[in-house]
């Protein structure tokens, strides 16, 4: 299955974000409709969005073509003989087979990924007890369900500002995808860098909304994106009251649920609240 086929997976009707009510930035999701596109440099997985470009996959023919393209950029209108001579000089000075030069190029590309792209992560699963523990204050936090169609509508509304695209599924793999330098500026290959994670993270069932040419940016959405709010099974009563009040302040009714531990197995049940 190629990348386009993997990314063509249709998202579920609702995608979820786990949050901590005591974190003021997390709280703004519900109180201010604010989502945050984080730089990949802030991710807890040191492999995430750090996929190297495979210079070793370049053939001598590809290297020559790249040098010739650079010569054409530098010397428009030059004769074929002049371009060939310039390309030979570029090839002699290039770092395509030079480990220190490759290292510098990798670092420069990584800096682009960290400074030019933002990621907003969501999950298909509202009932994962590990994610409730890791991302929602040990089940004392909350989980917001986003209406995927409305989220896509917001993406269309803000597209001219370069803000949102639709949600993409994360690709879980045993190893790095092979991305040669010739394709590092290709839009699909950039997505593959931003969306490929180790198979060990597969339990998160993650989807990502991507922000291009900006990072570490907050974006305010309309009330219509909210479908559900779920209260953690260990949530204190004062948090519960505040979250219910915040949800009730929206312009439309949001389904509210209380997470509860299952009695006879590891897992959560969700009780619909009449609020």
Per-residue DSSP letters for 115-131?
HHEEEEEEES-S--HHH
pLDDT of residue 213: 84
In order, the DSSP letters of 128-188 are: -HHHHHHHTTTTTSEEEEEEHHHHHHHHHHHGGGT-----EEPEEESS-----GGGTT-HH
What residue ranges do the domains of the chain occupy?
Answer: 3-42+118-273, 55-111
pLDDT of residue 1: 63
- pLDDT tens column, 70-123: 899 888 989 989 999 999 888 877 777 788 888 888 898 899 999 999 999 999
pLDDT score, position 186: 59
d(CA 98, CA 204): 39
pTM for the structure as a whole: 0.86
Q: What is the pLDDT of residue 3?
A: 67
CA–CA gap between residue 211 and residue 155 (Å, rounded): 10
Using 50, 70 and 90 to split pLDDT, how confident is the model at 184? very low
* Tokens standing for residue 195: 């969306």
In angstroms, the CA 206 to CA 232 distance is 20
Task: Find all residues with CB under 8 Å of 105, minimum gap 6, and list them.
Answer: 53, 55, 95, 181
Share of the chain above pLDDT 70, in %: 94
pLDDT at residue number 160: 66
Q: Which of 167, 166, 272, 267 is closest to 229 using CA atoms?
A: 272
- pLDDT tens for 186-229 read 567 788 899 999 999 999 999 999 988 889 999 999 999 999 99
Tokens at 218, concatenated: 């907050």
Q: Identify which of 267, 242, 268, 270 has the alpha carbon closest to the alpha carbon of residue 256.
A: 270
What pLDDT is recorded for position 92? 79
The predicted pLDDT at position 101 comes to: 82
Residue 165 reports pLDDT greater than 80: no
**What is the average pLDDT score of the chain?**
90
Per-residue pLDDT tens for 129-149? 999 999 999 999 999 999 999
Distance CA 129, CA 267 (A): 7
Q: What is the DSSP letter of 266?
A: S
Residues 6+ apart with CB under 8 A from 232: 132, 136, 137, 139, 140, 141, 142, 143, 259
């Amino acid at each position: 299955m190629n990348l386009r086929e993997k990314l063509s997976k249709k998202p579920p009707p609702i995608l979820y974000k786990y949050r901590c009510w005591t974190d003021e930035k997390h709280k703004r999701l519900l109180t201010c409709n604010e989502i945050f596109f984080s730089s990949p440099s802030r991710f807890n997985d040191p492999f995430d969005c750090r996929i190297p470009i495979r210079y070793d996959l370049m053939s001598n023919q590809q290297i020559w073509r790249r040098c010739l393209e650079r010569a054409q950029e530098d010397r428009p209108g030059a004769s074929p003989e002049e371009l060939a001579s310039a390309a030979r000089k570029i090839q002699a000075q290039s770092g395509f087979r030079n480990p220190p030069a490759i290292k510098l190029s990798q670092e420069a590309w990584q800096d682009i990924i960290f400074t030019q792209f933002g990621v907003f992560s969501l999950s298909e699963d509202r009932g994962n007890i590990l994610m409730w523990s890791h991302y929602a204050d040990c089940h004392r936090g909350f989980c917001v369900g986003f209406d995927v169609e409305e989220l896509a509508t917001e993406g269309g509304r803000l597209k001219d500002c370069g803000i949102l695209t639709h949600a993409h599924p994360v690709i879980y793999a045993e190893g790095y995808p092979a991305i040669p330098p010739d394709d590092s500026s290709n839009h699909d290959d950039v997505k593959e860098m931003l969306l490929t994670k180790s198979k060990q993270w597969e339990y998160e069932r993650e989807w990502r909304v991507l922000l291009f040419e900006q990072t570490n940016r907050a974006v305010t959405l309309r009330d219509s994106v909210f479908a559900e709010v779920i209260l953690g099974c260990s949530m204190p009563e004062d948090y519960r009251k505040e979250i219910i009040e915040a949800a009730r302040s929206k312009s439309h009714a949001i389904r509210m649920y209380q997470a509860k531990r299952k009695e006879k197995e590891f897992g959560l049940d969700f009780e619909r609240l009449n609020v």
